[in-house]
């Protein structure tokens, strides 16, 4: 595995500092997200001003459950960059929160991002939304020189891993939120929901999740019912739904096929009397009415379940299905991890091979330049027939030129602060030499 990320001409460090639901509370993550935005603006201002920052490229991945800064830095400036990021972003109540943030570099950072994009590090394992969030974060990273090519490449690796996990495993194919499971249960009971009237009662967090699931499923005849019409309108606009107040509920029940309710009311929002009033007005074409109650305490009077033509499912039914789905998802974690490892390892090995081949090409080019220079000088000095002495002089000159710089570096190896042994061992390995001080026997 390469120690550095290739930038084409030089090496650099991919550095990630982050905090997530594993390490931090929601209020701290919110504070970190504000710090991340400050850092991004500061970095872009520095870039526009022309002063060279310790960070060459950066992007922010900020979601409800994580705040992560990905940066490309010169290896000599790693510690400086890490301190800048920590002091600017991971601060809460005026102190740096080193205990709730993490640092990763290079290969570990790439593997981490690939796992994040694949949903393996999410609160709900296997969720898809994070993949799009990662893509958006890496499509246009900020760059000091205007060319954020390295981070874009890192983002493509994560996207490749996410795509393969989605297509080669079952990790994300079982619904894992209240909204999507409620929708699955409705399909099980009624079949295709296309053309059916669906009523969502409540515009809070759960109601919003239900509406999002309906929107993704392509449901077109949705009405959002809430005490506050404004809040209902905010959710409805995103999915092209209608809105209504609670007093319109009886007439909505007359034509609805599905009612999904999730308010925070202390008393039932849908009682037996309200449902009974709607029954005479329900045309035979409307069919049975499915009511799914996701609220705590219950939104629907239990007596409603005894009415003819009514099917009532509760939060217990939804959670039972959700538990089964999560069990299926967790069974796919191993195969998904293997896919991520395969994608990342393939990249790392290809990067390592490219780096080695590039060094070999540069080495050969340098040697050829020395040979051409020395042969040219030699041809200019030879007059008449070539003697053995002339050949010796040419080849000795080429050898001296080839080994001049390496020998100077070797003689100064004691100044390398503990790296002398590594350098000597590398030279011995590269040139297949005996141990220093021992003569090499001729073959």
pLDDT tens string 51-83: 566 788 889 999 878 999 999 998 888 888 888
Say how far apart CA 34 and CA 183 lie, in whole Å: 35
Distances (CA, A) of 113 to 68, 107, 118, 119, 121: 10, 10, 8, 10, 9
pLDDT in tens, 429-440: 888 786 555 544
Task: Give the model confidence (pLDDT) of 303-323 as tens digits.
Answer: 999 998 899 999 888 888 888
Q: What is the CATH number of domain 5-173?
A: 3.30.460.30
Q: What is the pLDDT of residues 103-158, one digit of tens each?
A: 999 999 999 999 999 999 987 788 887 898 999 999 888 877 666 578 988 999 99
Q: Per-residue pLDDT for 441 more than 50? A: no
As a whole number of angstroms, the distance between CA 291 and CA 307 comes to 12
Residue 3 has what pLDDT?
Answer: 47
Q: Which helix (H) or strand (E) holds 134?
A: helix 129-139
Rounded to the nearest integer, the mean pLDDT of the chain is 83
Domain positions in the chain are 5-173, 178-328, 354-411
The predicted pLDDT at position 74 comes to 85
CB atoms within 10 A of CB 392: 10
Distances (CA, A) of 400 to 83, 365, 395, 406: 46, 17, 9, 10
Q: Is 13 helix (H, G, I), strand (E, B) or coil?
A: strand
Please give the CATH topology (third level) of the domain spanning 178-328: Rossmann fold (3.40.50)
At 174-221, the pLDDT tens digits run 767 778 888 889 988 888 888 889 999 999 888 888 898 888 887 879
Place of tokens 């970190």: 32
Residues 31-42, mean pLDDT to the nearest whole number: 86
Note the pLDDT tens digit of each residue in 254-305.
989 999 999 988 889 999 999 998 888 876 656 789 999 998 889 999 999 9
Handedness of CA 171, 173, 177, 178 (dihedral sign): negative
Which CA distances in Å does 354 have to 13, 14, 242, 336, 351? Answer: 17, 18, 57, 27, 5
For 213-247, write each residue's pLDDT tens digit.
Answer: 888 887 879 999 999 889 999 999 988 999 999 99
Task: Tell me the β-bridge partners of 49.
Answer: none
CB-neighbour burial class of residue 149 (10 A; exposed 0-12, middle 13-18, buried 19+): middle
- Three-class DSSP category at 297: coil
Joined tokens for residue 263: 């308010």
Looking at residue 261, what is its pLDDT?
A: 94
Burial of 78 (0-12, 13-18, 19+ CB in 10 A): middle
Is 63 within 8 Å of 113 (Cβ atoms)?
no
CB atoms within 10 A of CB 212: 17
The residues carrying an active-site annotation are 64
Where is pLDDT greater, at 428 or 146?
428
* Whole-number CA gyration radius for the chain: 33
Cα 213 from Cα 267, distance rounded (Å): 26
- What confidence category does residue 97 fall into, taking pLDDT thresholds of 50, 70 and 90? low
What is the pTM assigned to this prediction? 0.62
The Cα–Cα gap between 297 and 228 comes to 20
What's the start-to-end Cα distance of the chain, in Å?
35
The whole-angstrom separation of Cα 42 and Cα 256 is 53
């Amino acid at each position: 595995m390469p120690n550095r990320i290739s930038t084409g001409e030089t090496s650099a460090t991919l550095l990630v500092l982050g905090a997530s639901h594993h390490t931090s509370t929601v209020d701290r993550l919110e504070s970190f997200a504000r710090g991340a935005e400050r850092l991004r603006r500061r970095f872009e201002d520095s870039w526009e001003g022309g002063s060279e920052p310790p960070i060459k490229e950066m992007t922010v991945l900020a979601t409800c459950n994580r705040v992560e800064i990905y940066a490309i830095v010169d290896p000599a400036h790693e510690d400086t960059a890490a301190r800048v990021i920590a002091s600017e972003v991971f601060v809460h109540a005026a102190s740096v929160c080193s205990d709730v943030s993490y640092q990763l570099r290079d290969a570990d950072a790439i593997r981490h991002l690939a796992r994040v994009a694949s949903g393996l590090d999410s609160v709900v394992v296997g969720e898809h939304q994070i993949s799009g969030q990662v893509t958006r974060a890496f499509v246009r990273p900020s760059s000091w020189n205007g060319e954020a090519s390295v981070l874009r490449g890192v983002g493509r690796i994560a996207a490749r891993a996410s795509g393969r996990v989605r297509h080669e495993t079952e990790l994300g194919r079982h619904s894992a939120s209240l909204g999507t499971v409620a929708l699955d249960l409705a399909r099980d009971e009624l079949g295709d929901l296309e053309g059916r009237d669906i009523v969502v009662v409540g515009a809070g967090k759960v109601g919003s999740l239900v509406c999002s699931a309906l929107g993704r499923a392509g449901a077109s005849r949705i009405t959002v019912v809430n005490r506050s019409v404004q809040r209902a309108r905010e959710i409805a606009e995103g999915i092209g739904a209608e809105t209504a107040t609670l007093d319109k509920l009886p007439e909505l029940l007359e034509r609805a096929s599905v009612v999904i309710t999730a308010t925070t009311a202390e008393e039932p929002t849908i009682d037996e009397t309200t449902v009974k009033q709607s029954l005479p007005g329900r045309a035979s074409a409307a069919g049975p009415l499915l009511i799914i109650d996701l609220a705590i305490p219950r939104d629907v009077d239990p007596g409603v379940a005894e009415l003819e033509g009514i099917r009532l499912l509760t939060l217990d039914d939804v959670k039972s299905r959700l538990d089964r789905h999560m069990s299926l998802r967790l069974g796919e974690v191993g195969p998904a991890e293997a896919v991520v490892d395969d994608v990342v390892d393939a990249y790392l090995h290809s990067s390592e091979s490219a780096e080695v081949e590039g060094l070999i090409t540069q080495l050969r080019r340098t040697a050829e330049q020395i040979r051409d220079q020395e042969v040219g000088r030699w041809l200019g000095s030879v007059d008449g027939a070539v003697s053995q002495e002339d050949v010796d002089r040419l080849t000795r000159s080429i050898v001296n030129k080839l080994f001049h710089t390496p020998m100077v570096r070797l003689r100064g190896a004691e100044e390398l602060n503990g790296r002398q042994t590594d350098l000597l061992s590398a030279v011995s390995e590269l040139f297949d030499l005996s141990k220093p001080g021992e003569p090499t026997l001729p073959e």
